[in-house]
């Protein structure tokens, strides 16, 4: 079926015994295929041979010559120097090894040798400190006189040995490789066949051969990955939901009539996409993406209303208690105005209240529920869950998103995120979801002015805040709070707030908000801030996501370099939510180059997508969203930043293939399917774990 030889354990290669196999395992290499898919990190050009006399002091060069004589010197007890005299056809030079006395016996006079190493001309002679050498025995050269592959290594393994093992497996492989990519794709993208690409990626004759081979493996990897997503999507769209939405309900119209604004064109467009999903017989799996402040909440409310008016239940899940409360508060009045009840369930909900809510939910008497992840705890059972909205998705593990799904029978799922995800990321993380994008802000918003200031200039910042407050506006001051130094940070924030309240802002009411406070205390502060009683709120990052107080016009971020770009952008998004001019002040004296780069990026642009790309560049895809558990697969050769074009092509081809042959019936796609399962885990479970 698939490539049998490739499936064999590495030990089946002659020169790999149990010991070497154990070493290779540390690199995740178990099979011959793993070994051959251990791609070079780069290539070193050792094709140009220089006469030793022409080499430049201090540079690395490759020289070829005939062995004249060799000796081991022992100037000290702990040091052996092996010194080799070589004639390169022009003159004599010396090659030097340290503490490898056994090398001497390989170097009998008359042998032809290639040597790569650093050139030293300080003693009137030419010496080369050997990094690598190779005896020319008329066979293929691996480590010198060519483009030499340089691999990621592990302990007890060196480049030379790895090259030998890879070469040995390539030799044994001859004529046993079957192509795994469909013929059509190979020719459409002008990719080299697997059979030629494997030797070319490891031991290319010319650089362009390596480039072509790599292009193939990049495409192959992305294509197989996109196939897993296409299969997932196939499964989703094959399932049928049991619930249906009523059409022609009056509640949504009533709600829209009462809205104090008109939906933007983008909002109307995404709503159409969402309604179509709701009306379809298949469950919705949609990602709603929109920059901070673009108005996603009202869209989710509209979807929830349709569920309620259809006799279905809807759940809205938010990442923090404060945000859940805010959603609850902002929807409660608008919803009760049209006669729809909504409940709030968080970790802070009192026991009695909680029991009452659970009761109403399980009987179906309460239709809509907002909450934190408390919503997915096991004792919450919905009577007829039709719709699940997950806000600020990146804060949840993908598994949590899945768990809520199990509470209903294929409920419709809408995932909302304000983290602008670069397109390549979105296609990779959410390739199984349909994507809707709100790409405009509501009209009448002034661009936020962003400044970076040194801590020494805080007095000016306070003046700005006072001026704004006198004009009727409000301000946030955010202090960083990182887990490792949580206690110290918390104390610093508390002291800072106290000082501001009694000195700089003694004329205004200042509130403190942090994650350690009880939920009713937090709610109290928030509602005073919302009502405009509290003018300035000093907070730790709990306000990061989703807070919506349009009257706030100043966002001050202390020690701003301690925040990631995505977080800073989120924070800035808390202001600029009305027609008033807003300000974002980053107070910082960055100590690292990355810190400086983040601040520069923030000052330069307020385009969330541009910032996301920048973030990706600074941190690398592995670190995207701050944690490894973002669900992104680890690629061996593809790089999402660099290979965006290939990714899009791979995605298109994968979708087309699954469309044409959904169950991989024909031979070519069968082979692909096997390969996909092999590379990306049989149950496609990787994305949920
Ligand atoms: P986000 O997408 O960040 O969740 P919100 O849903 O919190 O954004 O919306 C930000 C603010 O903009 C809210 O105060 C909301 O009432 C308001 N808003 C939403 N849509 C519009 C619109 N079409 N016109 C004017 N204001 C709007
Ligand atoms: Mg929001």
| pLDDT tens-digit series, residues 165-176 | 999 999 988 878
Q: Is the CB of 297 under 6 A from ligand 1?
A: yes
Q: Tell me how far the alpha carbon of residue 391 lies from the centroid of ligand 2, in angstroms.
A: 7
Residue 398 banded pLDDT, cuts 50, 70, 90? very low
Mutation choice for ligand 1 from 293, 440, 446, CB with most ligand atoms inside 8 A? 293
Query: Token digits for 433?
Result: 């979801």
Going by DSSP bridges, is the β-strand pair 79-87/60-76 parallel, antiparallel, or unpaired? antiparallel
Dmax of the chain from CA atoms?
A: 98
Instruction: Please check whether residues 471 and 582 belong to one and the same domain.
Output: yes
Sign for the pseudo-dihedral over CA of 640, 641, 646, 650: positive
Q: Is the CB of 626 under 6 A from ligand 1?
A: no
The segment with the largest mean pLDDT, out of 43-52, 117-126, 396-405, is 117-126
| Residue-level pLDDT at 482 | 63
Q: Tell me how far the alpha carbon of residue 532 lies from the centroid of ligand 2, in angstroms.
A: 21
Least confident of 66-75, 131-140, 410-419: 131-140
Q: Tell me how far the alpha carbon of residue 293 lies from the centroid of ligand 1, in angstroms.
A: 5
301 assigned to some structural domain: yes
Indicate the number of domains in the chain: 3
Q: Tell me how far the alpha carbon of residue 446 lies from the centroid of ligand 1, in angstroms.
A: 14
pLDDT reading at 622 higher than 70: no
396 assigned to some structural domain: yes
pLDDT reading at 551 higher than 70: yes
Instruction: Please check whether residues 390 and 529 belong to one and the same domain.
Output: no
Closest residue by CA, ligand 1 atom 26: 442
Q: Which ligand is nearest to the CA of 316?
A: 2
Q: Is the CB of 298 under 6 A from ligand 1?
A: yes
Mutation choice for ligand 1 from 442, 550, 575, CB with most ligand atoms inside 8 A? 442
DSSP of 193-222, one letter per residue?
PHHHHHHHHHS-SSHHHHHHHHHHHHHHHH
Q: Mean pLDDT over residues 500-506, rounded?
A: 92
Q: Tell me how far the alpha carbon of residue 367 lies from the centroid of ligand 2, in angstroms.
A: 21
Instruction: Please check whether residues 458 and 545 belong to one and the same domain.
Output: yes
- Can you state the percent helix, strand and coil of the chain, rounding each to 5? 45, 20, 35
| Residue-level pLDDT at 144 | 75
Nearest atom within ligand 1 for CA of residue 550: 14
Residue 591 banded pLDDT, cuts 50, 70, 90? confident
Measured at the alpha carbon of residue 321, what is the angle toward residues 318 and 325, in degrees to the nearest 5? 85
When computed from its CA atoms, the radius of gyration of the chain, rounded to whole angstroms, is 32
Last residue of a domain, one of 555, 579, 605: 605
428 assigned to some structural domain: no
Nearest atom within ligand 1 for CA of residue 548: 7
User: Percentage of the chain surpassing pLDDT 90?
Assistant: 46
Q: Mean pLDDT over residues 207-224, rounded?
A: 95
Q: Tell me how far the alpha carbon of residue 590 lies from the centroid of ligand 2, in angstroms.
A: 29
Q: Mean pLDDT over residues 483-505, rounded?
A: 83
Q: Tell me how far the alpha carbon of residue 430 lies from the centroid of ligand 2, in angstroms.
A: 19
pLDDT in tens, 372-385: 877 766 678 899 99
CATH number of the domain residue 380 falls in? 3.40.50.300
* Contact (CB, 8 A) for 93 and 127: yes
Last residue of a domain, one of 101, 117, 145: 145
Instruction: Please check whether residues 58 and 112 belong to one and the same domain.
Output: yes
| Residue-level pLDDT at 2 | 56
| Residue-level pLDDT at 431 | 72
83 assigned to some structural domain: yes
Sign for the pseudo-dihedral over CA of 239, 243, 246, 251: negative
Sign for the pseudo-dihedral over CA of 589, 594, 596, 600: negative
Q: Which ligand is nearest to the CA of 392?
A: 2
Instruction: Please check whether residues 254 and 353 belong to one and the same domain.
Output: yes
Sign for the pseudo-dihedral over CA of 406, 410, 411, 417: positive
Q: CB under 8 Å to 268, separation ≥6 — which residues?
A: none
- Return mean pLDDT, the chain: 85
Q: Tell me how far the alpha carbon of residue 574 lies from the centroid of ligand 2, in angstroms.
A: 10
Instruction: Please check whether residues 267 and 397 belong to one and the same domain.
Output: yes
| Residue-level pLDDT at 248 | 80
339 compared with 154, residue with greater pLDDT:
339
381 assigned to some structural domain: yes
| Residue-level pLDDT at 677 | 87
Least confident of 56-65, 388-397, 549-558: 388-397
Place of tokens 């406070």: 517
The segment with the largest mean pLDDT, out of 30-44, 130-144, 266-280, is 266-280
pLDDT reading at 629 higher than 50: no
pLDDT in tens, 292-321: 788 999 999 999 999 999 999 999 988 777
Give the residue among 133, 205, 139, 136 at the shortest CA–CA distance from 168. Answer: 139
| Residue-level pLDDT at 409 | 67
What's the whole-model pTM score? 0.64
Burial of 74 (0-12, 13-18, 19+ CB in 10 A): exposed
Q: Tell me how far the alpha carbon of residue 299 lies from the centroid of ligand 1, in angstroms.
A: 9
Instruction: Please check whether residues 549 and 471 belong to one and the same domain.
Output: yes
| Residue-level pLDDT at 143 | 77
Q: Is the CB of 419 under 6 A from ligand 1?
A: no
| Residue-level pLDDT at 376 | 65
Q: Tell me how far the alpha carbon of residue 390 lies from the centroid of ligand 1, in angstroms.
A: 17
Closest residue by CA, ligand 1 atom 5: 295
pLDDT in tens, 599-618: 999 999 888 878 877 877 77
Q: Tell me how far the alpha carbon of residue 525 lies from the centroid of ligand 2, in angstroms.
A: 20
- Each residue of 449-460: b (16+ CB within 10 Å) or e? ebebbeeeeeee
Q: Mean pLDDT over residues 101-106, rounded?
A: 88
Residue 546 banded pLDDT, cuts 50, 70, 90? low
Q: Which ligand is nearest to the CA of 263?
A: 1
Q: Is the CB of 544 under 6 A from ligand 1?
A: no
Closest residue by CA, ligand 1 atom 17: 295
Least confident of 51-55, 114-118, 206-210, 658-662: 51-55
Least confident of 6-20, 111-125, 384-398, 638-652: 384-398
Q: Is the CB of 292 under 6 A from ligand 1?
A: yes
* Contact (CB, 8 A) for 562 and 488: no
Q: Is the CB of 526 under 6 A from ligand 1?
A: no
Q: Which ligand is nearest to the CA of 548?
A: 1
Instruction: Please check whether residues 413 and 457 belong to one and the same domain.
Output: no
Q: Is the CB of 327 under 6 A from ligand 1?
A: no
Q: Which ligand is nearest to the CA of 289?
A: 1
Q: Is the CB of 296 under 6 A from ligand 1?
A: yes
Closest residue by CA, ligand 1 atom 9: 295
Cα→Cα distances 672→29, 494, 647, 660, Å:
21, 59, 17, 14
Q: Is the CB of 266 under 6 A from ligand 1?
A: no
Instruction: Please check whether residues 479 and 388 belong to one and the same domain.
Output: no
Q: Tell me how far the alpha carbon of residue 297 lies from the centroid of ligand 1, in angstroms.
A: 7
14 assigned to some structural domain: no
pLDDT reading at 396 higher than 70: no
* Contact (CB, 8 A) for 574 and 549: yes
Nearest atom within ligand 1 for CA of residue 292: 3
Last residue of a domain, one of 605, 628, 649: 605
User: Percentage of the chain surpassing pLDDT 70?
Assistant: 90
pLDDT in tens, 241-265: 889 999 888 999 999 999 999 999 9
610 assigned to some structural domain: no
Q: CB under 8 Å to 366, separation ≥6 — which residues?
A: 313, 341, 342, 343, 357, 360
Residue 327 domain boundaries: 250-280+295-417
Alpha helices, DSSP H, located in 574-638: 593-604, 608-619
Instruction: Please check whether residues 387 and 468 belong to one and the same domain.
Output: no
Q: Is the CB of 576 under 6 A from ligand 1?
A: no
Q: Which ligand is nearest to the CA of 546?
A: 2
pLDDT reading at 541 higher than 70: no
Q: Is the CB of 301 under 6 A from ligand 1?
A: no
Q: Mean pLDDT over residues 129-149, rounded?
A: 81
Place of tokens 């923030």: 602
Q: Mean pLDDT over residues 547-551, rounded?
A: 85
Closest residue by CA, ligand 1 atom 19: 295
Residue 502 banded pLDDT, cuts 50, 70, 90? very high
Q: Tell me how far the alpha carbon of residue 550 lies from the centroid of ligand 1, in angstroms.
A: 9
Give the residue among 192, 150, 189, 198 at the shortest CA–CA distance from 6. Answer: 198
Q: Is the CB of 437 under 6 A from ligand 1?
A: no
Instruction: Please check whether residues 464 and 380 belong to one and the same domain.
Output: no
Q: Is the CB of 88 under 6 A from ligand 1?
A: no
Q: Is the CB of 577 under 6 A from ligand 1?
A: yes
| Residue-level pLDDT at 610 | 82
Cα→Cα distances 650→59, 112, 273, 561, 682, Å:
42, 47, 25, 37, 20
182 assigned to some structural domain: no
Mutation choice for ligand 1 from 297, 323, 394, CB with most ligand atoms inside 8 A? 297
Instruction: Please check whether residues 512 and 376 belong to one and the same domain.
Output: no
CATH number of the domain residue 53 falls in? 2.40.50.140
């Amino acid at each position: 079926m698939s490539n049998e030889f490739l499936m064999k354990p590495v030990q089946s290669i002659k020169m790999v015994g149990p010991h070497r196999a154990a070493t290779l395992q540390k690199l995740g290499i178990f099979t011959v295929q793993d070994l051959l898919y251990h791609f070079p990190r780069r290539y070193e050009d050792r094709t140009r041979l220089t006469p030793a006399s022409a080499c430049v002091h201090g540079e690395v060069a490759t020289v070829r010559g005939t062995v004249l004589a060799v000796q081991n010197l022992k100037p000290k007890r702990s040091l052996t120097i092996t010194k080799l005299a070589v004639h390169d056809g022009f003159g004599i030079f010396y090659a030097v090894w340290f503490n490898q006395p056994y090398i001497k016996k390989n170097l009998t006079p008359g042998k032809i040798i290639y040597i790569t190493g650093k050139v030293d001309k300080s003693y009137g002679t030419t010496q080369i400190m050997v990094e690598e050498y190779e005896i020319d025995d008329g066979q293929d050269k691996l480590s010198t006189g060519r483009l030499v592959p340089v691999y990621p290594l592990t302990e007890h393994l060196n480049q030379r040995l790895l090259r030998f093992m890879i070469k040995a497996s390539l030799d044994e492989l001859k004529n046993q490789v079957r192509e795994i990519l469909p013929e059509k794709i190979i020719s459409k993208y002008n990719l080299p066949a697997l059979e030629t690409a494997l030797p070319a990626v490891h031991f290319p004759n010319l650089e362009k051969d390596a480039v072509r081979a790599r292009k193939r493996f990049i495409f192959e990897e992305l294509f197989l990955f996109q196939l897993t997503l296409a299969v997932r999507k196939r499964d989703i769209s094959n399932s049928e939901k049991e619930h249906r939405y009523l059409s022609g309900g009056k509640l949504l119209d009533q709600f829209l009539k009462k809205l104090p604004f008109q939906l933007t064109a983008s909002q109307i467009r995404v709503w159409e996409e969402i309604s179509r999903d709701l009306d379809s017989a298949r469950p919705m799996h949609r990602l709603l993406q929109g920059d901070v402040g673009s108005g996603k909440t009202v869209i989710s409310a509209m979807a929830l209303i349709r569920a309620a008016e259809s006799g279905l239940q809807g759940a809205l899940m938010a990442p923090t208690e404060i945000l859940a409360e805010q959603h609850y508060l902002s929807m409660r009045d608008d919803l009760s105005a049209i006669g729809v009840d909504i409940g709030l369930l968080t970790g802070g909900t009192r026991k009695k209240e909680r029991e009452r809510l659970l009761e109403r939910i399980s009987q179906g008497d309460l239709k809509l529920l907002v909450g934190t992840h408390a919503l997915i705890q096991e004792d919450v059972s919905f009577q007829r869950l039709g719709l699940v909205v997950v806000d600020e998705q990146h804060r949840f593990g993908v598994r949590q998103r899945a768990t809520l799904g199990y509470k209903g029978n294929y409920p419709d799922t809408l995932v909302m995120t304000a983290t602008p995800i670069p397109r390549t990321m979105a296609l990779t993380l959410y390739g199984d979801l349909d994507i809707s994008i709100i790409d405009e802000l509501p009209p009448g918003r002034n661009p936020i002015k962003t400044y970076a200031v040194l801590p020494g200039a805080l007095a000016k910042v306070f003046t700005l805040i006072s001026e704004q407050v006198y004009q009727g506006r409000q301000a946030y001051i955010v202090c960083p709070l990182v887990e490792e130094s949580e206690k110290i940070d918390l104390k610093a924030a508390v002291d800072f707030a106290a000082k501001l309240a009694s000195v700089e802002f003694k004329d205004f009411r200042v509130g403190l908000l942090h994650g350690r406070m009880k939920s009713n205390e937090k709610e109290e502060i928030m509602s005073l801030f919302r009502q405009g009683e509290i003018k300035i709120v000093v907070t730790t990052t709990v306000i990061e996501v989703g807070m919506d107080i349009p009257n706030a016009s100043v966002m001050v971020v202390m020690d701003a370099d301690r925040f990631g770009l995505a977080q800073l952008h989120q924070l800035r998004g808390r202001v600029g939510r009305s027609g008033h001019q807003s300000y974002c002040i980053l107070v910082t004296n960055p100590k690292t180059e990355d810190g400086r780069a983040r601040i520069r990026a923030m000052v330069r642009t307020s385009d969330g997508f541009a910032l996301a790309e920048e973030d990706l560049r600074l941190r690398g895809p592995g670190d995207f969203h701050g944690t490894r558990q973002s669900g992104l697969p680890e690629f061996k050769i593809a790089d999402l930043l660099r290979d965006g074009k290939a990714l899009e092509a791979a995605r298109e081809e994968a979708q087309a293939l699954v469309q044409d042959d959904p169950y991989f019936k024909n031979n070519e796609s069968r082979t692909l399917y096997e390969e996909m399962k092999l590379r990306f885990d049989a149950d496609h479970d990787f994305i949920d774990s």
